Chains A and B, each alone.
Chain A
Amino acid sequence: MRSLNRLGAQPASLPLAADDVLEFHAARLMLLMEFCGTSGRIDGLTKMAKLDFFARYPDFFDIARAAEAAQADGMVPLPNDNRTVEAAMVRHHYGPWDKRYYHVLSHLEAKALISVTKEGKSFRLALTPLGRERAKQLAARPSFTTLVGRLKQIKATFGRKSGTYLKDMIYRLFDQEVSRREMGKVIEQ
C-alpha cells in the first residue's frame, strides 16, 4: 500500500488495484470518523475497526442491521446500493482487523488530518478542522455517494454502541465467517 504520489513510477505492466492506494483507505476512515463518529471523533480502535467492518462488507451490515431491527423498531430500509466488498479484512484476536490501520492512521496524523490522543487504555481518533473540511469535500464527490449513504446508516444503527458490543455481536452473528476463521485469514462474504 502506497501513497498516490509514489505510485507514478510503478510499471504499467504491473496491475494496480484501488486497495493498494493509501489514500483510498485514508479517505474511507476520514469519512467513517465524520459520519459515524461524534463531532468527527471515534473513541477506540476497536470501535473504529468494527464500524469499518460494516462499511467494507455491505452484506454483513445488512444482516447485523436486520438483527438489530428485531430489537429496535422503525428502521428505514436501505437503498439497493452496491453490494461488493470495499476491501477485505482478516480475522484477528478481537474480530475483523486490518494490519494497515497503523500505517493509514499515522499517515493521516502526520498530515494533520486527524489527531490521536490516549484516553485511559483506548485511543481517541478525531478529525482535525483540516480533516473535517477535506472529509466534507470528499463526501461531495459522486464516487463516494454510495459509501457515505451506507456510513450514515451505520451511524444510525450502531453509532451509540460500544466497541465491545459490536465485537460480541460480530462473533455471535458471523460465527462461521469470522469466529471460526483461522487467525490471520481473510474474511470472505
Chain B
Amino acid sequence: MTNAFLSVARLERRLTTGNVESLTFKTGVNLLVGPPNTGKTKWLQTLDFLLGDTGANPYEGSDEAGLADKYESAAANLIVDGDAVRIERRWLEPGAKGKIFVGDEVMDTKEFQHWLFAKLDIPLVHFPKGNPMSGQTWPELSFRILLRHIYRQQRFWSGLADQQPEGEQHASLLQFLGLAQRIFTDDYGELVQLKLEVERLKARRDQYQHTLAELARGLLSDEDISVVVNALTVAAAKVRIATETEVLRRQRVELLSRSAGETLDPGQRSRIVELGELRALVSSRLEASSRDRNSAVDRAREVARYESDLADELDRMARAEDAGTMLADLKITHCPACDQTVAPVVIPSPDCFLCHQARPSEPMVEGLGAVRLRFERERLESERKEAAALSDVLARDIRHHASQIADDERQLRIIDNELVPARQAIAAVAQEEISKIDMALGQASERERQLDRVSAALALETDIADRIAALEAKIEPIQERVDEVMRTVDFGAAASDLEDGMNAYLEALNHLRPHTWRHSPVQISLSRREGVFRVGNRRWMAALEGTDSLYFLMAYHYGLLSLSGKPGSHYPGIAIIDLPGEFLGEAIEDKENFIVQPFVDLLSGEAFEGAQLLITGASFTGLAGAHVQALRQVHIA
C-alpha cells in the first residue's frame, strides 16, 4: 500500500438517556442492510456530519417526531493511514456545536479538514471556480468538496456529484488523479491575477482614451485638433498657438508704435520711450523684491517655529534633569514582579541582580547621566542662540525688501502718472484694433491652458500604459514556468487510469450478467479546464438512460476506488454509497448483489488492504465476502 487510506471502524450515536447505539465496520465491503425506514440513510448522514459538515446535526428538524431530542452526540472510530483516531461531535454541549473532538484535541470543521488532509497526505490547494479569469478569488479545495465524490447520498443519483458546480467537480477529479497540486500552483494563481490586472488596466485605458477624446473635443477648438487627441497632436497644436501668439504680439507692438508716431510730436516721443524702459526696469525690480521678501518671510516663520521647539525641549530637559536628580539615585528595593523586598546581593555577579540578565555593555555611572543631559542642554541652548541670530538677520532682510518695494511702487506711480496723457492719445487712435488683438491673445492663452490640461490628462494614460508594460514583463517568465509545468502534465495518462477502472467495472458486470452494458466503453478527456466523460461519442448523460446511469455511476465510484493504490493519486480508499430503494422507477433490490460484487472482488486484492466501501441496501441476500450490518427496527412516523 503506497497511499494513506481512510476507513471507519465504528460508528456511534449517544442518546440523551446515556445509552449508546453503534455499528461496527471492517475494511473491504460493508453492507448496511435493512428494509426501508430502518435508519440506514440516517446512519450515513451521521457519518457525513462527523466528517466535518458545518450545518445542523442530522437529527435536527427531522420529520420523525422526537428524533431531534433523542440524540446528543455521535462518534466514529476512524483508521487514518493505519492510525486509530476517535472523532466526536456533541451538538447539545454548550459551545461545542461547531466543534469536532479529535482524540484529545478540539477543532473547528476547517481545522479538522486540514488535519485530515495532512494525515491522508492530500495536498491543500486553491482552485478557480469556473473560468480562472472570472476575477473571483480561488477557494480552498476542501475535504467536504471531495466528499461529494466519496459519499453518494440517496437523494443524489443523477450526476457525478449532483448540484456541485463543474469547476468543483473538475478540481476534485484533478485532486484524486494527483494533478491538482501541479495545475493549481501559486505561479498559476499569480499568473491569472496578473493577467486580470492587465485586462482591467487595458479596459481602463481604452475607456479613458475614449472619454478623454470626447471631453477633449469639447474643450479644444477645431483649429487646434480636429482628428485625434494624442501627445503628438497636442504638442503640434501648442507650437501653432505659440507662433500665433508671437505674431499677435508683434502686430500689437507695431500698431502701438505706428499710433505713437501719428499722435505724438518727436520731442515727446523720446521721453515716452525713456519712461517705457524705466517702467519695465522698475516693474522687474519690484517683482524680484516681492519674491525675495516672501521667501524671507517663510524662512523667518520656519526659524521662529524651530526656535520655539528648542525652547520647549529645553524646558523638558530641565524637568528631566530635575527628575533625574530627585529619582535616579534611589536604589531598587522591591521586585515589581513578585512584590518582595529585594535581598542584598552577597555574591558579586556580572549579571543584573534583579532580572539576572547580562548587563548592557555601557557602565552605570551615577552623575554622568546628569553631565550628558547638561551637555544636551548646552547644545540646545547654542542652537537656540543661533536660531535667534538667524531670526534677526531675516527680520533685517524683510525690512530691507519692504523698503525697496515701497520705493519701487512710488517710482512706478510717478511714471504711470507721467504716461497717462500719452496713453490716452494713443488709445484714442488705436483702441479698437488693440482691443481686437488683446482679445485674440486672451483666446490663444486660454487655448494653450486647455492644451496643457489635456496634456496632463494624457500623461495619466501614459502611466497606465507603463503599468501594463511592467505587468506584461512580469507575466512573461511566470507564463513560461506555467506552460512548462503544463507541458509535463500527462492529462491523457491520468484520465486513462480512471477510465480503465470504470471500464473494468462495466466489464465485470458483463461477466457477471452478460449483455448488461451494451454501450461503448467510457472515455474521459481531461484538460486543465475541464473533464468530460463520454460513452461512445456522446456525453454520458445524453447517451445513457434508465439503469445504465446507475451502472455508470457505480463504475465512477469503482474507478475512483481503483485509484486508491496508485502512486501519486490522492483518493483516500473509501466510498460510501447510499443506494436508493428505486432507481428511475425500477426496484434496485434485484441488482444489489450484482452491482456490488465487482467491489468485493476489487477490495479483496492485496493492494486495497485498508480500503473500504460502505453501502446500503434492502437485502444483499447471499453476497459473500462482505461484512453485513442488519437494521431491523422500522421507524414509522
Binding site for B on A (CB under 8 A): 3-10, 12, 15-19, 21, 23-24, 26-28, 82, 84, 86, 105-107, 109-113, 116, 130, 134, 137-138, 141, 143-144, 146-147
Checking A5, A86, A112, A116 against B365 with a beta-carbon cut-off of 8 angstroms, the contacting residue is A5
Q: Given A112-B333, A113-B327, is A19 in contact with B365 using a C-beta cutoff of 8 Å?
A: no
Checking A16, A18, A106 against B319 with a beta-carbon cut-off of 8 angstroms, the contacting residue is A18
User: Does B332 make an interface contact (CB < 8 A)?
Assistant: yes
Contact A82 B312 (CB under 8 A): yes
Contact A111 B364 (CB under 8 A): no
Chain B interface helix/strand/loop/mixed = helix
User: Does B335 make an interface contact (CB < 8 A)?
Assistant: yes
How near does chain B come to A28, taking the closest CB pair, in angstroms?
A: 8
Contact A113 B322 (CB under 8 A): no
Contact A138 B365 (CB under 8 A): no
| Contact pattern, B 315-340, Cβ under 8 Å of A = 1, otherwise 0 | 11111111110111011111110000
Can you report 17 A-B residue pairs in the complex whose CB atoms are below 8 A from each other? A3-B324, A5-B328, A6-B369, A7-B369, A8-B371, A8-B372, A9-B363, A12-B372, A18-B313, A18-B317, A21-B320, A23-B320, A84-B309, A112-B334, A116-B336, A141-B319, A143-B315
Which residues from B are CB-within-8-Å of A116?
336
User: Does B373 make an interface contact (CB < 8 A)?
Assistant: yes
Contact B336 A16 (CB under 8 A): no
Q: Given A5-B369, A6-B364, A82-B315, is A23 in contact with B328 using a C-beta cutoff of 8 Å?
A: yes
Which residues from A are CB-within-8-Å of B319?
18, 24, 27-28, 141, 143-144, 147
Which residues from B are CB-within-8-Å of A27?
319-320, 322-323, 326-327
How near does chain A come to B252, taking the closest CB pair, in angstroms?
A: 54
CA distance A113 to B335 in the complex (A): 12
CA distance A9 to B371 in the complex (A): 10
User: Does B360 make an interface contact (CB < 8 A)?
Assistant: yes
Checking A18, A110, A143 against B335 with a beta-carbon cut-off of 8 angstroms, the contacting residue is A110
Which residues from A are CB-within-8-Å of B354?
110
User: Does B370 make an interface contact (CB < 8 A)?
Assistant: yes
CA distance A84 to B334 in the complex (A): 35
Lowest 9 A-B CB distances belong to which pairs?
A8-B368, A27-B323, A4-B324, A9-B362, A18-B316, A4-B369, A24-B320, A23-B323, A106-B336
Which residues from B are CB-within-8-Å of A105?
336
Contact B360 A6 (CB under 8 A): yes
Which residues from A are CB-within-8-Å of B365?
5, 8-9
Contact B322 A10 (CB under 8 A): no
Task: Name, among A21, A84, A106, A144, the residue most crowded by chain B CB atoms within 10 Å (CB to CB).
Answer: A21
CA distance A143 to B326 in the complex (A): 13
How near does chain B come to A20, taking the closest CB pair, in angstroms?
A: 9
Contact B369 A15 (CB under 8 A): no
Checking B323, B333, B342, B372 against A24 with a beta-carbon cut-off of 8 angstroms, the contacting residue is B323
Which residues from B are CB-within-8-Å of A138?
322-323, 326
Q: Which residue of B lies closest to A106 (CB)?
A: B336
Checking B316, B331, B366 against A86 with a beta-carbon cut-off of 8 angstroms, the contacting residue is B316
CA distance A84 to B313 in the complex (A): 9
Task: Name, among B312, B336, B364, the residue most crowded by chain A CB atoms within 10 Å (CB to CB).
Answer: B336
CA distance A5 to B328 in the complex (A): 7
| Contact pattern, B 286-324, Cβ under 8 Å of A = 1, otherwise 0 | 000000000000000000000011001101111111111
Q: How many residues of B contact A (CB 8 A)?
A: 41
Contact A141 B368 (CB under 8 A): no
Q: Which residue of B lies closest to A26 (CB)?
A: B327
How near does chain A come to B141, taking the closest CB pair, in angstroms?
A: 35
Q: Given A27-B322, A112-B333, is A21 in contact with B373 using a C-beta cutoff of 8 Å?
A: yes
Which residues from A are CB-within-8-Å of B316?
17-19, 24, 86
How near does chain B come to A156, taking the closest CB pair, in angstroms?
A: 22
Contact B336 A110 (CB under 8 A): yes
Task: Name, among B326, B332, B365, the residue most crowded by chain A CB atoms within 10 Å (CB to CB).
Answer: B326
How near does chain B come to A120, taking the closest CB pair, in angstroms?
A: 18
Contact A16 B333 (CB under 8 A): no
Which residues from A are CB-within-8-Å of B583?
none
User: Does B590 make an interface contact (CB < 8 A)?
Assistant: no
How near does chain A come to B309, taking the closest CB pair, in angstroms?
A: 8
User: Does B376 make an interface contact (CB < 8 A)?
Assistant: yes
CA distance A137 to B323 in the complex (A): 10
CA distance A18 to B376 in the complex (A): 9
Contact A23 B334 (CB under 8 A): no
Q: Which residue of A lies closest to B327 (CB)?
A: A23
Which residues from B are CB-within-8-Å of A147?
319
Contact B326 A134 (CB under 8 A): yes
CA distance A55 to B332 in the complex (A): 27
Which residues from A are CB-within-8-Å of B362?
6, 8-10
Contact A17 B330 (CB under 8 A): no
Contact A143 B318 (CB under 8 A): yes
CA distance A28 to B334 in the complex (A): 21
Which residues from B are CB-within-8-Å of A5?
328, 364-366, 368-369
CA distance A112 to B331 in the complex (A): 9
Contact A21 B336 (CB under 8 A): no
How near does chain A come to B373, taking the closest CB pair, in angstroms?
A: 7
Contact B333 A143 (CB under 8 A): no
CA distance A112 to B342 in the complex (A): 11
How near does chain B come to A52, taking the closest CB pair, in angstroms?
A: 15
Other than the given A6-B364, A141-B319, 15 more pairs (CB < 8 A) read A4-B370, A5-B328, A8-B372, A17-B316, A27-B323, A84-B308, A106-B336, A110-B333, A110-B342, A113-B327, A134-B326, A138-B322, A144-B319, A144-B322, A147-B319
Contact A134 B327 (CB under 8 A): yes
How near does chain A come to B337, taking the closest CB pair, in angstroms?
A: 8
Q: Which residue of A lies closest to B354 (CB)?
A: A110
CA distance A82 to B311 in the complex (A): 10
User: Does B375 make an interface contact (CB < 8 A)?
Assistant: yes
Checking A17, A110, A113, A130 against B313 with a beta-carbon cut-off of 8 angstroms, the contacting residue is A17
Which residues from A are CB-within-8-Å of B375?
12
Q: Given A16-B373, A26-B327, A110-B354, is A9 in contact with B368 using a C-beta cutoff of 8 Å?
A: yes
